[in-house]
Copies of this chain bind each other. A is one copy, B any other.
Amino acid sequence: DIDRDRFVETMKRQAEIGANENGGLDRLTLTDADREVRDWFRDQLDALDLDVRVDEMGNTFGRRPGASDDGAVLLGSHLDSQPNGGIYDGPLGVVAALEFLRTLEDEGIETERPVEIVNWTNEEGSRFQPAMMASEVWAGKTSVEAAYETTDGDGVRFVDALERIGYRGDTPAEPQGPYDSYLELHVEQGPFLERGGHDVGVVTGIVGLQWGEITFHGEANHTGTTPMQYRNDALVAASDVITGIRRLPGTLGDRTVATTGDIDVEPGSINIIPEEVRFTFDVRDPDDDVIAEGLERIKAEMRAAAEREGVDWEYEERMSAASVDFADRCVSAVREAAADLSYDAREMVSGAGHDATHAASVCDTAMVFAVSEGGKSHTPDEYTSWDDCHAAAETYANAALRLAGV
């Protein structure tokens, strides 16, 4: 049983750090606000007398020994936010894991397996791409060195930002000892649980995704004196591709989503033809073949638009993640935990990427989703009632206990 009052208090406490005037969070990874919430998190782990490690990627772990030295059960999520993001998102999962550990402590429960809590670095991927970069390194899918060299929009290197906030740890960014399983709680971020009137989500896997950045290089010139046929307008080319991306879902899989989230134009003057335009895209689907086909179509649109407008193109991949199916035994643990507590649970595939994507390649994994009202996230309007937060946290704790054993 999770202590509801303390749980809600802890959620509110974390939401003060990096709070903005919209009721949301500005707690981008490796900023001062991120440092502050990490310091707070470490204090909570210290108060529980956990064995705390910070690894080379800034991932912060706290370990509670079990009766045996068997593989540990890893629990957690992330405390970083999007720009002007919501207060639930990843923090709900970190706080639920923390409350689970506090409850074990309060009730003097010794688990069979060691239990570990983690706060992953840079889950959001808004400042540094790819998202979930630090769990990816931890899972051995990319190198620390490559991650360190990643730069943000201002050219700041990941490693420098990490050192600046004092979270470049000594522990190698890789599993320290065997893990039995990883369990993550997160808000759904989509509308399905609320629309279906469910209490909690049992997540069976994660869609694959492809992120890219396209840059068109045209030629700056005067908007008034340059006849249309002599133009090389980078923004017209970009707009063509963006509307093409909008049309992808209707012509690919019925679960496909495709979006352009960011665009920048140079020189950006009302009376200068755009010379250089850079924009991003994000395509997702549960089926990796559909994503591959989507990427081909976007590239074809890109080449056609460049040809039409007489501009040069450049393509850079920003992230590529295959879809993931979670392990049956972990999904079952969540399903049974929800049933035990008489919650109306829905099984679903996550449309968002999570650190569970990478953990799933290290050990058996599953996730619990909390209801997202209106399906809103990555905005201060993101909202999950305390009832729904609590239902998810209880399901999570129960499932974790099943995996850890008593």
Contact = CB atoms under 8 A, between A and B. Distances in A.
A269 B125 CA distance: 9
Contact of A318 (B259, B265, B267, B270): B270
Contact of A228 (B209, B219, B257): B257
B379 A219 contact: yes
Most buried by B among A222, A233, A240, A274: A222
Contacts of A274: 260-262
Interface residues of A, number: 70
Contact of A125 (B236, B242, B271): B271
Nearest to A281: B270
Interface stretch (A64-72, A140-148, A243-251, A359-367): A243-251
Contact of A235 (B84, B222, B228, B260): B260
A48 interface: no
A233 B221 contact: no
A378 B257 CA distance: 39
Interface of A: 82-84, 124-126, 129, 131, 188-191, 207, 209, 211, 219-228, 230, 233, 235-236, 238-240, 242-243, 246, 249-250, 257-265, 267-275, 280, 282, 284, 318, 350-353, 372, 375-379, 381
17 contacts: A125-B271, A126-B272, A191-B227, A222-B352, A223-B282, A224-B353, A226-B257, A228-B250, A236-B242, A236-B243, A240-B243, A261-B272, A262-B270, A263-B263, A263-B265, A271-B282, A272-B378
